[in-house]
Structure formats: structure tokens, C-alpha cells
Amino acid sequence: MDQPSRTRTKPLPEVAKAHRDPHNYPHGVAFLDSQYVPMAEAKISVLDWGFLHSDATYDTVHVWNGRFFRLDLHLDRFFAGLGKLRMTIPHDRNAVTEILHNCVALSGHRAAYVEMLCTRGASPTFSRDPRDAVNRFMAFAVPYGSVANAEQMQRGLHVAISDKVRIPPASIDPAIKNYHWLDLVRGLFDAYDRNAETALILDTEGNVAEGPGFNVFAVRNGALTTPAMGVLPGITRRTVFDLALELGVPAQAAPLPVEVLRTADEVFITSTAGGIMPVTVVDGDPIGDGAPGPLTRRLKDLYWEKHEDPAWSTPVHYP
């Protein structure tokens, strides 16, 4: 693909309308109903099961310096989620790849947050049978954003551990990326009430699980531990395991008790939206010496170096 497909593509100047919209949509380009449109024009029906029942799956990949990072892994997870939810889309893997490239290229973003998603859709007769719904595929590219802002990346995030419990795997397979966030949102409000910046919530055994849109790692005696149960197997989480192997750092997925996290030498979180981000305060107390730790910094630096490696990233073909 040298240039974006021109199938029913609207003129790019219309993207500027997003800046005049009262909802302040971000500058970006979306794909739905076989056409590329400004973000402000990307809409779904209020009768879509994705809206009414959170019946949807998605995946998010990022672009940095004009290159997708680990796109193949995100596509693997997205198509696996479609299969598990019995959804179908009218695009194969190569077509979805082209659509994502087109969204980024048309937006012009060199650093982008790029999402592919499928909702259950709506039934023409408003049937309550999910088999009657017409599944709907969408994608979009907007400016890259991070869980942690620039100041937090420098000094580390302040996190509170909420007593809210993550939806158990027996109810929803955490490997299917989804929009079921009410447990996470309740945890966030607990964190804000305690003057923290974000939250971690628990698994059904009372151990640390994950936060809103991120996994967590604890460093003790030079080894890494991340929760094993009830968490999304994040692509950045997997990347940390790959980097740890390259560096010869022991890493495991295992139960992570609250007190083990609170007394860790270092703590960091991982997400496509931000990469590897240090945590320096948990429940009001400093982690280690209260500054981002050396292993966190080493992993973070290597993570961003990999963004230029052709084995880990692929270029966007801008027009």
C-alpha cells in the first residue's frame, strides 16, 4: 500500500469541522460504513448493542514517529476477540491493516492512538436475540495520548488501591478487550477521593489486578511480578516480558498481594497509552526512595528504542 485507498473518501478539509464542534472532538479520521470521515462525523445508533449493552470488542495500537508498534500482536488479539464473541466483519486481516494505515495517513498524525472495534450492532426489528444484530466494524486514528502526563512520567504516578473487584474471568474472558469499565470507574473515584491520580483494583482473591486501561508490575530484588488472574494480557505487558528476557531480568505472572505491591522496590504500569510509566506513591506512601527506579527507567528507555526497530514496528505510508 503506497497511498490510502480512495473508496468513498471525503475531502480532508472537512476534518477541520471537528474543531468547531461543541463536543470538541479530537482531530482525527475514522472509518465506518465503507468511508473515511472526520471524527466528529463518526456516529453509531443509540440502538447499537455496543452502546446499550457494552457488547463490543476492540483493540488499540499506537503510532510513534510514523511507525505502528507491534501491530501484528494487536491484530491477533482483535480477531481472537471477534471469534470468541461470535462476531464477523466484512474485512480480513489485510483489509483491516490497510484501513488502519489509511486512517493514520489521512489524519496526518505522526504520533497516533489507533483503534479498531466491532460492536454487536443493531437488529432491524429491535430483536433481543444477538444473532439478529448486524455486527458493525469501525476504526479511527486520533492524536496519541498517555495515561500519565509529562509531569507524572518524570516524577511517577500516585496510585491508590481500591477495594473494588475486577469482573471475574468466569464472567468475562479478560483476553477479550472490552468496554466493561464500571468496576474500574468506581475504583477511579475511590482514588480521587484519596487524592491519588489513578487506581488499581483487586481480583476475586483480594490480590492486585489492574487499573483503568493498564497492567501493573512490581519490582522486588531485581525481579518482575505482574498479576496473573483477571487481567487483560496487555500487549505492553507482553512487551515487558520480551524486554526482560532480552535484559536477563527474571519476570513472572503470579498473584500479587496488596502488601507486596506496597513494599516493592519499584512499581510501574504499562499501557499502549503511555508505554512503561513509573509509580512512586501507593496509598500515600512512597515506593522505594520515592523516585522512578533504575529498572523501570532501563525498561522504559529500551521500550522506546524498539519503536525504531523494523522487527518491532512498521512504517505508515503517508500520501
* CATH code, domain with 156: 3.20.10.10
Is residue 53 in a domain?
Answer: yes
300 domain-assigned: yes
Q: What is the pLDDT of residues 126-166, one digit of tens each?
A: 899 999 999 999 999 999 999 999 999 999 999 999 999 99
Looking at the structure, tell me whether residues 186 and 58 fall in a common domain.
no
How many domains would you assign to the chain? 2
Please tell me whether residues 131 and 183 are part of one structural domain.
Answer: no
In this structure, the answer to whether residues 103 and 156 fall within a common structural domain is no
**pLDDT in the model for residue 15:** 43
pLDDT at 8 over 60: no
In a domain, 318, yes or no: no
State whether 51 and 137 are in the same domain.
yes
In this structure, the answer to whether residues 129 and 161 fall within a common structural domain is: no
Q: Give the per-residue pLDDT at 24.
A: 76
Among the candidates 143, 169, 190, a domain finishes at 143
Whole-number average pLDDT of the chain:
93
Last residue of a domain, one of 81, 115, 143: 143
Looking at the structure, do residues 63 and 184 belong to the same domain, yes or no? no
pTM: 0.90
**159 shares a domain with 138:** no
CATH number at residue 78: 3.30.470.10
What is the per-residue pLDDT for 6?
41
DSSP string across the chain: --S---TTPPPGGGGGGGGGSTT-PPS-EEEETTEEEEGGG----TT-HHHHH--EEEEEEEEETTEEESHHHHHHHHHHHHHHTT---S--HHHHHHHHHHHHHHHT-SSEEEEEEEEEEE-TT--S-GGGSEEEEEEEEEE---SS-HHHHHH-EEEEEEEEEPPPTTTS-TTS-----HHHHHHHHHHHHTT-SEEEEE-TTSSB--BTTBEEEEEETTEEEE--SSS---HHHHHHHHHHHHHT--EEE----HHHHHT-SEEEEEETTTEEEEEEEETTEESTTSS--HHHHHHHHHHHHGGG-TTTEEE----
Confidence tier at 18 by pLDDT (50, 70, 90): very low
Tens of pLDDT, residues 194-212: 999 999 999 999 999 999 9
Range of the domain at 225: 150-307
Residues 134, 167 within the same domain: no
Of the residues 143, 162, 195, which one is the last residue of a structural domain?
Answer: 143
The pLDDT confidence band at residue 319, using thresholds 50, 70 and 90, is: confident
Does residue 312 lie in a domain region? no
Same domain, 110 and 201: no
pLDDT recorded at residue 35: 96
| Residues 213 and 124 occupy one common structural domain | no
Question: Are 109 and 156 in the same domain?
Answer: no
Q: What is the pLDDT of residue 23?
A: 65
Residues 293 and 191 in one domain: yes
pLDDT digit string, tens, across residues 247-298: 999 999 999 999 999 999 999 999 999 999 999 999 999 999 999 999 999 9
